[in-house]
Amino acid sequence: MPKVSDDRLGARRREILDGPRHCFAEYGYDGATVKRLEEATALSRGAIFHHFKDKEALFLALAREDAERMADVAAQEGLVQVMRDMLARPKDFEWLGTRLEIVRKIRSDPAFAEAWAAHSADLEAVTLARLERKREDGSLRKDVPTEVLVTYLDVVLDGLITRLATGQSTDDLHAVLDMVEASVRAPIG
């Protein structure tokens, strides 16, 4: 049997990740059945699960991919910019609406909770590092511990995701993000 190149395996993995994102967005975690995942990827379950152990591994791969993308933006431009990107391109982030289901799964499935915590740690670490750099250069307020600011920004991110996932108006959210950004800056003068 001929060996498949790493490039081809990577390309197939990429193909597999593209379809399920929309499937999870449309049907939620539980509703993204194997049959729907097959339809979304136009591949058989054997082809899908050759690359991913199971549906949870596929979902976590998507979450990890998004965490890496968000971490890159957060490291360079801040977590508020990640949120601004969500407002500017909501279709790119629509699958994050499954986060509401994830909360339920975290509470009921310890293995999933552990895997999710590992994925979330990446974004938190780069956010913390960026805030520490901002604190050192004098542009971040110093009266609140950096870890508290990370938690604050994470809570705002959760609220934004919930608002986008439930289809609520986002008209005033740019102004809200301006307020959030101003609230973490060092006072002038």
CA–CA distance, 78 with 181 (Å, rounded to integer): 9
The pLDDT confidence band at residue 3, using thresholds 50, 70 and 90, is low
CATH topology of domain 55-184: Tetracycline Repressor; domain 2 (1.10.357)
Q: Can you give the residue ranges of every domain in the chain?
A: 55-184
What is the reported pLDDT for 189? 65
CA–CA distance, 51 with 128 (Å, rounded to integer): 33
pTM (predicted TM-score): 0.76
115 contact partners, CB below 8 Å, separation of at least 6: 56, 60
| pLDDT tens readout for residues 31-48 | 999 999 999 989 888 988
Q: Are 184 and 140 in contact (CB under 8 A)?
A: yes
Annotate the chain with three-state secondary structure.
CCCCCHHHHHHHHHHHHHHHHHHHHHHHHHHCCHHHHHHHHCCCHHHHHHHCCCHHHHHHHHHHHHHHHHHHHHHHHCHHHHHHHHHHCHHHHHHHHHHHHHHHHHHHCHHHHHHHHHHHHHHHHHHHHHHHHHHHCCCECCCCCHHHHHHHHHHHHHHHHHHHHCCCCCCCHHHHHHHHHHHHECCCC
| pLDDT tens readout for residues 128-153 | 888 898 889 998 899 999 999 888 98
What is the reported pLDDT for 96? 74
| pLDDT tens readout for residues 50-92 | 888 999 888 888 877 877 787 788 878 888 998 999 899 887 7
CA–CA distance, 164 with 22 (Å, rounded to integer): 15
Place of tokens 């379809």: 19
| % of the chain beyond a pLDDT of 90 | 20
